[in-house]
Amino acid sequence: MLKEQIRTCLHEIDEELRLTGVKGEICLYGGAVMCLVYDARPSTKDVDAVFRPAGMIRKAARRVAERHDLDEDWLNNGVKGFVVGHPRKVLFDWPNLKVYIAEPEYLLAMKSMAARVDTMDKRDILFLMDKMNIGTSNELFNIIEKYYPRKHIKPATQFFIEELFDK
């Protein structure tokens, strides 16, 4: 999905919620934030988010998917198992839908914890590190540990991070 398509679809969810008299919230993560907020990449395959009321937003997203010929799970909450408390800020404040994004520090920590080799994670991590002027693995580990205890950082993630700084 391209930046404008994501924005359009989110706005249409707002319209769908308005028709049913429901107010909702969505917090975006991952590729959607990298596209919408940072222009770090042109597209993402889906929109990772946490949302409520989940059932109503899921129904609205399915109707939007039908109109735009998108996968039914273009908006998904698969990320919810990885989300911990974090600061967020409002991206869109529409009448029936408030859309939040994770702050860059948390997004960096979350992307680093995921660090999937076959995805855009490495590029996103490098982009966020550059944006935040992070120059050492210790600086990155300090950010991660604000949200995730050191004991939860898998060895593969530690190696991935250390390799980012091998020059």
Evaluate whether 51 touches 74 at the Cβ level (below 8 Å): no
Q: What's the mean pLDDT in 13-18?
A: 98
The band of 167, judged by pLDDT with boundaries at 50, 70 and 90, is low
Whole-prediction pTM: 0.92
Q: So what's the pLDDT on residue 118? A: 62
Of 125, 131, 127, residue with least CA distance to 144? 125
- CA–CA gap between residue 74 and residue 9 (Å, rounded): 10
Domain ranges of the chain: 3-102, 106-164
- Residues 76-126 have pLDDT tens digits of 998 998 899 999 999 999 999 999 999 999 999 999 998 776 668 889 999
DSSP-assigned letter for residue 123: H
CB atoms within 10 A of CB 75: 27
Tell me, what's the pLDDT at 43?
94
How far apart are alpha carbons 25 and 66 in whole angstroms?
21
Question: What is the average pLDDT value for the chain, to the nearest integer?
Answer: 94
Q: Please report the sign of the dihedral spanned by the C-alpha atoms of residue 45, residue 50, residue 52, residue 58.
A: positive
